[in-house]
């Protein structure tokens, strides 16, 4: 049922009731179908080609959805949950989108049985609350010094990604970085910078006890390397006239102009003099450094970088224990930080500054090496997943078995909970439980195993009390995931459940779509059809 709507302007399309629901559910399902094939270690990659022919090869759910430029409104809501998941946890995007898709698909069955959407929504919310309770009950507790477990978590996160061949070493690097950066079980992932350089092999990837910035020194006359660096961080310009402040000066004679320039030069000289007498031999300035200042700094043998990103200044500050000064009068020896070396290093045709050998760094850099830009980009995505998973595990201290084990156990317990309910919400709770099985089902399917057989076996194990039984895709066998060391942070699951439930219930509540723009590519047409490029994916 789709008709012209004359209360509002002509050309506005309105889709109502079941048509609206079906249309939205179909769109959401298609989004979940798109990412499904990438789930798990045996998932496939996707090659994304942008309109300008740039290529990304990735296995990462949120990257795929982000690059696809999806326009259908409900599909866009699905993309949003991937982004929320990415923002909140950094991993588990494919999982959250898939659960949401399956929740909606299963809801459709209930709608067909004339169960009202509000009943389904209520049942789904009850299931969500129950899952939280169960997750809290059955998660395993860990502490930050549990190095082995943390390493396993990072390895699980990176399995099947571009980082595969070196994931063991990468995990060690990540654990070391996180343990050094944590302060009372809190890790700010921002303190660990992941830089990449094209050139040399993946196995040259290294942990730097300090910061690397993609800036070179501003003059070749400055020393290329400074030993026993005393570091000054400045967030104001060292320039004759700051371009940010438009000062108006009226000058009527040549001598007045000369006077003015002399004054300006004098102030630069004073600034540089102050820097020199503080004992600083390396400076990082967030703003500009002009030619005259550059000349003076070179003469004084001070390694200088300008227009350094604020983020980087903050990280250098954390790594070297230097204060950031915003006023020339604050400059003196007490605010300087220290590093073993500050050095310009050229790798893969690019010059970068290494601030290394910091004594008690609270910020680090992991420098990824790899043959091509596609390789280093995909490794970076994998490392970020590993890093954030370690950070979430330390933060909450809770982890769960992977390989579909936790989803099977949640599903089983949710079904038992459903049995205790009497209303029609019970059917929704049961459908929620079924939706969770989509994860182990797909892990098996993507690995070319028979998903029905695997699910049957998994159900059997969980029914007989083996709550850690999951699918190990290294051996293709059902095993105790803790023994197989396939472990994930509980936070991934909490968040995936929350975002999936949010979007599914939101979409279910919609029974009226009013599209005010004329249809173009990617929009629904008046029959409520999806754009043709999405059809082909179904």
Which of these ranges, 84-92, 283-291, 397-405, 424-432, lies near Mg ion under the rule CB under 5 A?
84-92
The catalytic position among 38, 63, 93, 320 is 93
378 binds Mg ion (CB under 5 A): no
Cα–Cα distances (Å) from 66 to 37, 62, 386, 514, in that order, read 17, 6, 20, 25
Indicate the residue among 403 and 528 with the shorter CB distance to ligand ADP: 403
Q: If you count them, how many residues does the chain have?
A: 538
Handedness of CA 229, 230, 236, 238 (dihedral sign): negative
Residue 101 site contact among Mg ion, ligand ADP, none (CB < 5 to 8 Å, cut-off depends on kind) = none
Residue nearest to Mg ion according to CB distances in the complex: 91
CB of 407 to ligand ADP, least distance (A): 7
Choose the one of Mg ion, ligand ADP, none that binds residue 40, judging by a C-beta under 5 to 8 angstroms depending on kind: ligand ADP
* Binding partner of residue 468 among ligand ADP, Mg ion, none, CB cut-off 5 to 8 Å per kind: none
Rounded to a whole number of angstroms, the minimum distance from the CB of residue 402 to ligand ADP is 3
Residue 41 interface partner, choices ligand ADP, Mg ion, none, CB cut-off 5-8 Å depending on type: ligand ADP
Q: Are 403 and 482 in contact (CB under 8 A)?
A: no
Q: Tokens at residue 71, please?
A: 């326009």
Would residue 274 be called left, alpha or beta, if left means φ above 0 and alpha means ψ between -120 and 50 degrees?
Answer: alpha
Look at residue 403 and give the partner it binds from Mg ion, ligand ADP, none, a contact being a CB closer than 5 to 8 Å depending on partner kind.
ligand ADP
Residue 127 binds what, of Mg ion, ligand ADP, none (CB under 5 to 8 Å, by partner type)?
none
End-to-end CA distance of the chain: 23
From 45-53, 83-91, 317-325, 336-344, give the range in contact with Mg ion by CB under 5 A.
83-91
List binders of Mg ion among 89-118 (CB under 5 A): 91
Does 389 interact with Mg ion (rule: CB under 5 A)? no
- Return the structure tokens found at 378: 């995909």
Q: Which is nearer to Mg ion, 91 or 378 (CB)?
A: 91
Question: Residues 206, 365: contact at Cβ < 8 Å?
Answer: no
Check if 93 is active-site.
yes
Angle between helices 73-88 and 93-112 (to 10 degrees): 140
Residue 395 Cβ, how far from Mg ion at the closest point, in Å? 17
CA contacts within 13 A on the Cβ side of 160: 21
Q: Shortest gap between Cβ of 405 and ligand ADP (angstroms)?
A: 8
Q: Which residue is at the shortest CB distance from ligand ADP?
A: 402
Task: Choose between 40 and 528: whose C-beta lies nearer to Mg ion.
Answer: 40
Residue number, 43 or 451, with CB nearest to ligand ADP: 43
Active site residue 498: no
Which of 174, 161, 206, 208 is closest to 394 using CA atoms? 174
Interaction partner, residue 473 (ligand ADP, Mg ion, none; CB < 5-8 Å by kind): ligand ADP
Task: Kindly write down the DSSP assignment for every residue of 144-194, as one continuous string.
Answer: TT-HHHHHHHHHHHHTTSTTGGGHHHHHHHHHHHHHHH-BTTB--GGGEEE
38 or 281: whose CB is closer to ligand ADP? 38
- How far apart are CB 98 and Mg ion at their closest, in Å? 12
What's the burial of 22, exposed, middle or buried (CB within 10 Å: 0-12/13-18/19+)? middle
- Interface residues toward ligand ADP, by CB under 6 A: 38-41, 43, 61, 91-95, 156, 159, 402-403, 439, 443, 471-474, 486, 488
Running DSSP on this structure, what letter comes out for residue 223? -
What is the closest distance, in whole angstroms, from the C-beta atom of residue 531 to ligand ADP in the complex?
25
Shortest separation between residue 165's beta carbon and Mg ion, angstroms: 17
Q: Which is nearer to ligand ADP, 94 or 392 (CB)?
A: 94
Report the alpha-carbon distance of residue 61 to residue 499 in Å, rounded: 14
Q: Which is nearer to ligand ADP, 41 or 123 (CB)?
A: 41
Q: Indicate the residue among 230 and 493 with the shorter CB distance to ligand ADP.
A: 493
Residue of 15, 38, 58, 60 with catalytic role: 60
Using CA atoms, how far apart are residues 217 and 230, in angstroms rounded to an integer?
16
Choice between 68 and 276, CB closer to ligand ADP: 68
Q: Which residues pair with 198 in a beta bridge?
A: 370
Q: Which of 91, 312, 385, 389 is catalytic?
A: 385
DSSP 202: G
Stretch that binds Mg ion, among 87-95, 289-297, 393-401, 438-446 (CB under 5 A): 87-95
Residues 58 and 64: beta-carbon distance below 8 Å? yes
DSSP sequence for 415-473: HHHHHT--STHHHHHHHHHHHHTHHHHHHHHHTTS-HHHHHHHHHHHHHTT-TTEEEET
Residue 60 annotated as catalytic: yes
How far apart are CB 249 and Mg ion at their closest, in Å? 59
Q: Look at residue 15 and give its three-state secondary structure.
A: strand
Smallest separation, CB 60 to Mg ion (Å): 8
CA–CA dist 446, 39 (Å, integer): 7
Instruction: Catalytic residue, from 94, 156, 205, 353: name it.
Output: 94
> How far apart are the C-alpha atoms of 368 and 195, rounded to whole Å?
6
Name the residue with tokens 């084990």.
405
CA distance 217 to 85: 39
Interacting residues with Mg ion (CB under 5 A): 91
Active-site positions? 60, 93-94, 385
């Amino acid at each position: 049922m789709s008709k012209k709507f004359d209360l509002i302007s002509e050309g506005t399309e309105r889709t109502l009731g079941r048509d609206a629901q079906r249309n939205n559910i179909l769109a959401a399902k298609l989004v979940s179908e798109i990412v499904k094939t990438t789930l798990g270690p045996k998932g496939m990659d996707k090659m994304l080609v942008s309109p300008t022919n740039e290529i990304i090869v990735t296995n990462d759910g949120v990257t795929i959805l982000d690059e696809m430029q999806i326009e259908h409104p409900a599909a866009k809501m699905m993309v949003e949950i991937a982004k929320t998941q990415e923002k909140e946890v950094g991993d588990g995007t494919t999982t959250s989108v898939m659960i949401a898709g399956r929740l909606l698909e299963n809801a459709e069955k209930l709608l067909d049985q004339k169960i009202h959407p509000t009943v389904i929504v209520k049942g789904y919310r009850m299931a969500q609350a129950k899952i939280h309770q169960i997750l809290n009950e059955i998660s395993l507790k860990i502490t930050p010094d549990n190095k082995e477990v943390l390493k396993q978590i990072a390895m699980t996160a990176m399995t099947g990604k571009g980082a595969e061949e070196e994931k063991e070493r990468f995990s060690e690097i990540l654990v070391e970085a996180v343990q050094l950066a944590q302060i009372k079980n809190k890790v700010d992932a921002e303190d660990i910078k992941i830089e990449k350089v094209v050139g040399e092999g993946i196995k040259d990837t290294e942990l730097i006890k300090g910061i690397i910035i993609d800036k070179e020194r501003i003059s070749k006359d400055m020393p290329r390397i400074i030993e026993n660096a005393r570091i000054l961080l400045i967030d104001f310009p060292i320039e004759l006239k700051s371009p940010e402040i438009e000062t108006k000066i009226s000058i009527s004679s040549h001598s007045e102009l000369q006077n003015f320039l002399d004054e300006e030069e004098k102030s630069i000289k004073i600034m540089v003099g102050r820097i020199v007498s503080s004992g600083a031999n390396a400076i990082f300035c967030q703003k500009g450094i002009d030619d005259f200042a550059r000349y003076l700094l070179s003469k004084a043998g001070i390694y200088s970088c300008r227009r350094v990103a604020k983020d980087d200044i903050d990280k250098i500050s954390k790594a070297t224990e230097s204060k950031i000064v915003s006023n020339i009068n604050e400059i003196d020896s007490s605010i300087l930080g220290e590093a073993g070396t500050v050095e310009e290093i050229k790798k893969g045709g690019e010059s970068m500054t290494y601030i290394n050998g910091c004594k008690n760094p609270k910020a680090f850099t992991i420098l990824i090496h790899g043959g091509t830009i596609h390789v280093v980009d995909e490794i970076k995505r994998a490392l970020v997943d590993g890093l954030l998973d370690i950070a979430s595990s330390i933060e909450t201290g809770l982890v769960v078995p992977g390989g579909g084990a936790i989803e099977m156990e949640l599903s089983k317990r949710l079904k038992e909970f459903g049995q205790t309910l009497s209303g029609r919400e019970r059917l929704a709770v049961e459908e929620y439980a079924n939706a969770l099985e989509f994860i182990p089902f797909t892990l098996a399917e993507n690995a070319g195993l028979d998903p029905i057989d695997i699910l049957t076996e998994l159900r059997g194990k969980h029914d007989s009390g083996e709550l850690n039984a999951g699918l190990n895709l290294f051996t293709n066998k059902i095993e105790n995931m803790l023994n197989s060391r396939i472990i994930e942070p509980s936070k991934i699951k909490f968040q995936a459940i929350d975002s999936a439930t949010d979007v599914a219930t939101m979409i279910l509540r919609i029974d009226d779509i009013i599209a005010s723009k004329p249809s173009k590519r990617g929009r629904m047409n008046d029959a409520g059809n999806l754009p043709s490029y999405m059809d082909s994916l179904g």
